[in-house]
Amino acid sequence: MSLKLGEIVPFGRSRQEYELMFNLSQEDYQQVILGCGDGPASFNAQMTQEGYSVISIDPIYQFSKSEIQQRFDEVVDNIIAQVAATPDNWSWSYHRDAEDLRQNRVKALEIFLKDYEQGRKEGRYQAAALPHLPFESGQFKLALCSHLLFLYSDLLSVEFHIESLKELCRVAQEVRIFPLLTLGRQVSSHIEPVREALAKMGIKSRIEMANYEFQKGGNQMLRLFQE
């Protein structure tokens, strides 16, 4: 892969954040879940510890434990400073303030890194990226995509979104994407063109409220279903 470590921001979310972002239920937990673009989230580690099954994919998994830690250390102060300087842009419900955000991201990273090497050996962390996935059709019941699609609409084209979501729907019966806002906190202009294109392929979709909000107004997810 051509990804350079200096191009990424390795911020990961926790299992509780995933539960809130994607409205996960006990029924969802009984299946093998695909996490797309999980980065250094603690979701996989915490779910595995609780006896559930998650496979995470991200190009960041080509890098070593120490490289990921180093990159986090390089960017965390600047990102937290930007958040602290714009407090009105954020919802302080899950995270109390910018410092609490930092501590939550540090904790998620620590849990991830403790699990990372073993998880790679077990195939739970795989270096892969959209729009092409190394899985069989229908291999998963549920795929989750956190803070990738729609968030980076200025960098990723409508066509990329369509191909990526088509691929996720190939490998999973249901796909959930969160959030639907861009980095500029605007509803992504890709959403409706993507939904229309997927509908022509027989893929149904609906927008639902999520139980998590950090970007103000960023409390919706898109759910995709096969007909």
User: What CA dihedral angle connects 212, 12, 150 and 8, to 10 degrees?
Assistant: 160
The predicted structure's pLDDT at residue 1: 39
Q: How far is it between the farthest Cα atoms of the chain?
A: 46
User: What CA dihedral angle connects 218, 173, 24 and 145, to 10 degrees?
Assistant: -40
Helices assigned H by DSSP within 59-157: 65-85, 98-121
Q: How far is it, in rounded angstroms, from Cα 205 to Cα 131?
A: 19
Q: Indicate the pairing of strand 140-146 with strand 33-36.
A: parallel
The predicted structure's pLDDT at residue 3: 39
Per-residue pLDDT of 46-72, as tens digits, reads 999 999 999 999 999 999 999 999 999
Per-residue pLDDT of 145-178, as tens digits, reads 999 999 999 999 999 999 999 999 999 999 999 9
Q: Is the pLDDT of residue 180 over 50?
A: yes
Ranges assigned E (strand) in 32-71:
33-36, 54-57
- CA dihedral over 184, 67, 129, 2, signed as positive or negative: positive
pTM (2 d.p.): 0.94
Q: How far is it, in rounded angstroms, from Cα 35 to Cα 227?
A: 22
Q: How far is it, in rounded angstroms, from Cα 43 to Cα 63?
A: 19
E strand or H helix at 126: strand 125-126
What is the set of domains in the chain, with CATH numbers?
5-226 (3.40.50.150)
Least Cα distance to 113 among 144, 67, 170, 168 occurs for: 67
Q: How far is it, in rounded angstroms, from Cα 3 to Cα 1?
A: 6
The predicted structure's pLDDT at residue 2: 43
pLDDT band at 224 (very low <50, low <70, confident <90, very high): very high
Q: Is the pLDDT of residue 198 over 90?
A: yes
Q: Is 42 left (phi over 0), alpha (psi -120 to 50) or beta?
A: alpha
